[in-house]
Chain A
Amino acid sequence: AQSVSQHNHHVILSEAASLELGCNYSYGGTVNLFWYVQYPGQHLQLLLKYFSGDPLVKGIKGFEAEFIKSKFSFNLRKPSVQWSDTAEYFCAVNAESSASKIIFGSGTRLSIRP
């Protein structure tokens, strides 16, 4: 069965700092990978996704992620964070078919100091 690990539970950064959130997944087959963001009191929103092609994926709000198949990783990056990026970030994977369930990681809480 597939699983997702996010090793950083809480990350605190100052504005303009660079961000990298780690995500590793466990599954031997073809996967689709996602990053979702949940702003305080709001629902899950898709930041970016990967399912084929260029392993460097660009998403909304200046975020990007790189799929490294050999490392089973899909780390999220942003060169310069803003206070408005304060949120919970979830890495997720689904496997087998595009309609199968999504498995979420435990999430990383990002706090940005103004």
Chain B
Amino acid sequence: EPEVTQTPSHQVTQMGQEVILRCVPISNHLYFYWYRQILGQKVEFLVSFYNNEISEKSEIFDDQFSVERPDGSNFTLKIRSTKLEDSAMYFCASIGQGDRPDYGYTFGSGTRLTVV
């Protein structure tokens, strides 16, 4: 079954450093998403991306965050200057186009970001 892959699985960074989280969505998918889950809390929407631009973003997704699809396969989330409160599990997701009976988001296994 096709998978969404995320790397690295765990990243530790110092406060103020830049981090890039990487995702490889399913190859024929067109809509891409980033979500995050702070430990013990619910999964929160960050941003959606379609046709090489952001289609929607939450209030969490401020100027410190950016997304990019630098080539045909990768989808990255960059945090320019990390803060302690950015520590969370970050999930990438993708879906295909069209209202298919098997529609549903596919989530990656996540990157655990720890800011120290």
Contact = CB atoms under 8 A, between A and B. Distances in A.
Interface of A: 32, 34, 36, 42-46, 49, 51, 90, 92, 98-107
Interface stretch (B20-28, B65-73, B74-82, B97-105): B97-105
A49 B105 CA distance: 10
Contacts of A43: 91, 107-110
28 contacts: A32-B103, A34-B105, A36-B107, A43-B107, A44-B43, A44-B107, A46-B106, A49-B103, A49-B104, A51-B103, A90-B42, A92-B43, A98-B95, A98-B98, A99-B97, A100-B48, A101-B33, A101-B56, A102-B33, A102-B45, A102-B93, A104-B42, A104-B43, A105-B42, A106-B41, A106-B42, A107-B42, A107-B43
Contacts of A42: 109
Interface of B: 31, 33, 35, 41-45, 48, 50, 56, 91, 93, 95, 97-99, 103-110
Contacts, number: 55
A114 to B, nearest CB: 24
Nearest to A98: B99
Interface of B is mostly: strand
B15 to A, nearest CB: 26
A105 B50 CA distance: 25
A98 B107 CA distance: 16
A44 B97 CA distance: 21
A38 to B, nearest CB: 9
A99 B45 contact: no
Contacts of A101: 33, 45, 48, 56
Contacts of B107: 36, 43-45
A94 to B, nearest CB: 9
The winner among B35, B41, B105, B110 for most chain A CB atoms within 10 A is B105
Contacts of A103: 45
